[in-house]
Structure 1
């Protein structure tokens, strides 16, 4: 368990940023933690990745992480997320700069690049979109309600009881965070392991992005024609298309463009779905985003979608 005692000066510096490298390591944590079938929402993703993952890559990345081998990611190897390095290539280039002439680091970086191409890159557009919406949502709460309500709503067994922020971790850690910067890093793959990093006057910790529980962000899947037909029978063909398009938060305009429908038609479908509890809407800034509610997620799960 991590217990961070956070002072007022640090509370005022909290920021949120995503990291492709942290996301990649988190996904390895899913494969390392679950030898067999992974739980939802990772089941389909884990099955496909395991079927394609070369044995050598599994021995290099997954097995050492499963054993808790500290040599896999030695101290200082995994850098703090930085918005100026928002691609995996940029993050790995930074690691190479900080570990010049290190053959072991070069081999690990090459393995991570190969793994990224196979396991994360096919899903990255959807994942990144969900992370950006997560940051927008938390930033809105931070601006409107303040930092403490935002911390209290993080979920994922993270709890805030002033002045202590508590989160599950693989070992006990008590840390006083005083006059520092606290960086929260949302990840889709936080179900595998929690990443924690302290560097100079910055403390960074990953947490479960809320989108993972509500949307199918790992969307590269085989078509399920029979299930889709059942959904169309229940809701109508056009309305079923709208529901399936809500694999991540979307505006009416974005859905109309992606589905090739009139904006007014999509708006009518969303109004019905919202009234029935299948979707709900959230205003963020000047835009309104629609997303599947829990009943909508349950409906798709029952139909095998």
Structure 2
């Protein structure tokens, strides 16, 4: 269990990040390769990522360099996901290069004590070795993370809209209370499941909340309590809880709505553009627009124009219908 302790000053200094953190998305995507938990939710990405890594000749660096540095475990080095990454990928990579050698050696020692570090890891204290790592991270990001930039942005924008609505309705405490079900606000403490039992006292520094597309399950924070407090938390909630491989819980929706509209409704869980609905349903953009209109007229989704795009998200009725189908109950209105 992780318990984050807030003071009044911490509440005033808590903020929601403007977007996803590219270096954290690299880390979380590497964790997706190391676990079958939630893989169904990333199935298309997983297949595409493995194919493109193979084509780019990155399978061996993935296996021998990246996965050992980013184990899906109780610890991996904090300097690999620096606070500076909120300025974009290149700013984050520059922060990695600027990390003092002493800190790199210390965190490599912690990694070795916790889960075991590769024999070459100590060389990361050398700037030239870190430059090679940064080059690999940039290449990995371009192949695996960047192609999902639009989808990630759409879902982060939908998440920000939901949290900002909670902020307007209930202040910062209302926003913290809306992060559940895996994150529980019990004033003045934010609680969540965690690999280890920890208490984090913010001490007037506030907390930065960063929604993450590739994070699955529990939120993650820095291991070092002296670093600026950041909490990366998953965008996917219990509406998309794991389901059997044959997708049986979705069948009532398919029977009720048809395959394309059921797929579009599922894609709107955390917000999706019309183009993303089209890709999820396997139809043209014009067909996806008609399906979105039908779902909107039925009160299952709501649509908001964002510049040239239209973002579709679930209504409470749509969320209830999808949750009931996932849990194998009768779909409301479906008899």
TM-score, normalised by the number of residues in structure 2? 0.65
Gap regions ≥5 residues in structure 1: 216-229
Alignment of 1:1-305 (within 5 A): 1-17=1-17, 18-32=20-34, 34=35, 38-51=38-51, 52=54, 54-66=59-71, 68=73, 73=77, 75-80=78-83, 83=86, 85-86=87-88, 88-98=89-99, 102-191=127-216, 194-197=219-222, 202-210=228-236, 213=239, 246=268, 249=271, 259-260=285-286, 269-274=294-299, 279-281=300-302, 289-291=312-314, 293=319, 295-296=321-322
Distance change (3 Å), C-alpha of 1:39 and 1:255: closer
Higher relative contact order (CA 8 A, sep 6+): 1
The answer as to whether partners of 1:131 and 1:186 remain within 8 angstroms in 2 is yes
Tell me the distance in 2 between the aligned counterparts of 1:214 and 1:67.
21
Cα shift readout 1:78-111 (whole Å, capped 9, x = no counterpart): 211565x13x233213322445961332232222
Distance change (3 Å), C-alpha of 1:99 and 1:109: farther
TM-score, normalised by the number of residues in structure 1? 0.70
Tell me the distance in 2 between the aligned counterparts of 1:178 and 1:294.
39
Distance change (3 Å), C-alpha of 1:144 and 1:109: same
Q: How many residues align?
A: 275
Distance change (3 Å), C-alpha of 1:49 and 1:251: closer
The answer as to whether partners of 1:194 and 1:206 remain within 8 angstroms in 2 is yes
RMSD: 4.3
More helix by share: 2
Gap regions ≥5 residues in structure 2: 102-125, 242-252, 279-283, 329-335
